[in-house]
Amino acid sequence: MWRKASAALLLALAVGYFYGGRPELPEQILQYIGLPNLQTPSPSNAGLERAISAAWNALIALPSRQWSKVAVGVNACVDVVVTGVGLLQALAVDPGAGRDHGVLHSKDDLREAFVHYMERGAAAERFFSDKEVFQRIARAAAEYPGAKLYVGGNAALIGQKFATYPDLMVLLCGPVGPKLHEMLDEQIVVPPESLQETDEFHLILEYKAGEQWGSTRAPQANRFIFSHDVSNGEMSSLETFVASLEEFQPELVVLSGFHMMEGQGRELWGERLKEAVAALADIPKGIPIHLELASMTDKDFMSRLMQEVLPIVSSIGLNEQELLFLSQAGDGPHAALPAWKGVPDVGRVGDILSWVLERHGRTDPSSESDLTRIHFHTLAYHILATVDGYWGNQAAAVMAGARVASSQACGLRTVDVSKVELKAPLEFLTSHSEPRERLSLKPEEPVAVWRRGNITFHLTPVLVCKRPLRTVGLGDAISAEGLVYSELTRQHPF
């Protein structure tokens, strides 16, 4: 009797916390009344970060069979990285309300789109249609105090990450100008046909967690990317890339840059997409293809990618925005959700990943699709979802991707546990509907595994950098690292 009374009292206290403006229930109350504490870890659990980092180092191992040659294409450029708020202030742009734009036509469009994503702490990439205005902004960015030049473009960044493995030969095809060629790792092979006289520049407007501009406050560090990049927008290097594969003989092909087509207009991208799909059909059978996705806004374009490109690749990499937009474009699970709030719900993410593999992948052995692997990454955790029987070493692969996210964001080669924090839920549901499981993360075994039909999921937390130095290219590094630690266990019937 007294236990029932005590439970009732504690439940009343819990309600009081919520109505009294204190939504964070004490962990002791949650445990006592049997409610799951799905909050992220508190600072008092700082030892979790150390345990997870140690477990990663102990458990991550390369597969028995490793890639020796990887070909990467086709978007490459020079990134000009500046503080976003500082540059916009230098351009005499005042803060205001945010609004998304699929294509930027003016400085006002740039300001509205930047604010729209900054207030969400989300990454985005857009095409700037006016060449002269873009060049004026680019000159201002290059001259802005503290501006830095880096290797840019998903393909080039993935190639750079692969090149950190000395036994791995890397071919890079893309519009490579003199400055980019100078900055690339000497281990990367660039075909002469990919070299051009001028560089393509992309402007990266970064902001820090908590940074404020007017009434807008960034909930987390991220960046907004824009360019007037016709070469990458047309994927002009794709045919050169495919033609170079016969001589290079890669064991793995990594493809990116489709998102750049979107800014060219529907008529142009419609025709170019047909040509791109035809070119990909010429890639020798038996070579797995990984497709790295990026920010897009045109649902028709994304729908065409799902129907025509996803079935001819064996693996894709994407973040939470791209995953939700993919579902929205295809009327998939949780398509009515306008955007993620905070850390994306693991159950909803799992539902969409299952839908992608079941609808566009090879969960049915009689399917003609080649898609059997998805590497999903968000700030707090990563998931590798694979169709059973095709990929090995995926626990190590997902941990390796999370480890590189934790170290690279802090500008380090290894994880410094004093500079990172755990934001992933320690307990989660594997689906938003039945049947589902409730799973817990164990720091000493930091990979949660579950199955749905013939799809296996591997989830690991990310140790999030408290003060990230650079967020650009993290997704590319994550996917590249995950591929290095992945092994193809069965030949795809390409």
Residue 330 lies in a domain: yes
Residue 45 lies in a domain: no
Residue 272 lies in a domain: yes
Question: Which of these ranges, 5-9, 95-99, 308-312, 480-484, has the smallest mean pLDDT?
Answer: 5-9
Percent of the chain whose predicted confidence (pLDDT) is above 90: 76
Residue 111 lies in a domain: no
pTM of the model: 0.81
Residue 8 lies in a domain: no
CATH code for the domain of 181:
3.40.1190.20
pLDDT band at 18 (very low <50, low <70, confident <90, very high): very low
pLDDT band at 284 (very low <50, low <70, confident <90, very high): confident
Residue 88 lies in a domain: no
Structural domain range at position 393: 53-78+152-199+229-488
Q: Yes or no: say if 254 and 155 are a contact pair by the CB < 8 Å rule.
A: yes
pLDDT band at 297 (very low <50, low <70, confident <90, very high): confident
Q: What is the pLDDT of residue 30?
A: 33
Name the residues annotated as catalytic: 476
Residue 38 lies in a domain: no
Q: What is the pLDDT of residues 329-342, one digit of tens each?
A: 999 999 999 999 99
Q: What is the pLDDT of residue 241?
A: 93
SS (H, E, C) the chain: CHHHHHHHHHHHHHHHHHHCCCCCCCHHHHHHHCCCCCCCCCHHHCHHHHHHHHHHHHHCCCCCCCCCEEEEECCCEEEEEEEHHHHHHHCCCCCCCCCCCCEECCHHHHHHHHHHHHCCCCCEEEEECCHHHHHHHHHHHHHCCCCEEEEECHHHHHHHHHCCCCCCEEEEECCECHHHHHHCCCCEECCHHHECCCCCEEEEEEECCCCEECCEECCCCEEEEEECCHHHHCCCCHHHHHHHHHHHCCCEEEEECHHHHHHHCHHHHHHHHHHHHHHHCCCCCCCCEEEECCCCCCHHHHHHHHHHCHHHCCEEEEEHHHHHHHHHHCCCCCCCCCCCCCCCCHHHHHHHHHHHHHHHCCCCCCCCCCCCEEEEECCCEEEEEEECCCEECHHHHHHHHHHHHHHHHCCCCCCCHHHEEECCCCEEECCCCCCCCEEECECCECCEEEEECCEEEEEEECEEECCCCCCCCHHHHHHHHHHHCCEECCCCCC
Q: What is the pLDDT of residues 151-191, one digit of tens each?
A: 999 999 999 999 999 999 999 999 999 999 999 999 999 99
Q: Yes or no: say if 231 and 125 are a contact pair by the CB < 8 Å rule.
A: no
Residue 434 lies in a domain: yes
Q: How many domains does the chain have?
A: 1
Residue 389 has pLDDT above 50, yes or no: yes
